[in-house]
Structure 1
Amino acid sequence: MSTPVRSVLALGSNLGEREGILEQAVADLSAHPLVRLVRSSPIVATKSVGGPADSPDYLNMVIEVETGLEPLALLAHCQDIEQRHDRVRVVRWGPRTLDVDVITYGDTTSEDPVLTLPHPRAAGRAFVLQPWAWMDPHATLGGAPVAGLAAVAADLAGLRRYEQDPRP
């Protein structure tokens, strides 16, 4: 086993029982013997960004894990969890039961087309940045404070902290 590395993962769901899917996905991700959950963000609700105009709203969150998996093995683990939750890839940025993206892997930078690190679009996405800033107010991405990047992200206005509907 290699030395554990801190990694930030972004999770999103806009099909099915979104909140339950996110909760189960966090449990599934951290059930791997080489992945340990360090902390998780609050869940946020957002409009779809970049996908079909009629896509349902998303629930999104960010988690920080400590992992002994190499970057591509971590990506494969994330994709396996997506498949367990019936992820179907039909339309780019289309509706999905679960999306899990590797945002950072320690300080690793990579231009690999399979896994670019840090995630190439994360710095402009409030649905990743704002929950991450709430989870870790001191986080940085590419040397910039995550909270500052969130404050200027184009999709920030459409984001709200998710509050579960009260159950009878």
Structure 2
Amino acid sequence: MSVDNSGKSLTGFGLSYEDVEVGDHFETPSREVTTAIIEAFAEMTGDRFEIHMSDEAALRHGFPARVAHGLLVLSLIDGLKNNAVARFRAVASLGWTWRFSAPVLAGDTIKAEVTVADKRTTRNPARAILRLRFVVRNQRGGAIQEGENELMIYRRDMG
């Protein structure tokens, strides 16, 4: 899915609806997905499917090494978005449409390119909604996950 990212590179904290246009973009910081993080996520969620728990099991399933949970990577990317050089005056996430394109292996480093794909006002004059497009890449530059997030944010001088 292609999104116009010909807009400006976003920076700043407390960005409101009026501060962004369709096509504006930013990059998240990066983070290594370690074995310890994968194991902690498995413990927390109860998802101990064997490809997440050992290299040997991952190899039996055709993967070169232990595989991170797809939802773990999505969760990490959401956290990285919230610590990026561009931060929105967010109210709440309204939902995600997401695809896991390639496995994330223990030891991979991830980051995302985020583009404002759409924006609209709501009935509430203090709030608006951004549709953010994410492309998550590993340290080799390969796209490993992608999707969109609808994020409710405040309008300028409101909220």
Q: Looking at CA atoms only, which structure, 1 or 2, has the larger radius of gyration? A: 2
**TM norm structure 1:** 0.25
**TM norm structure 2:** 0.26
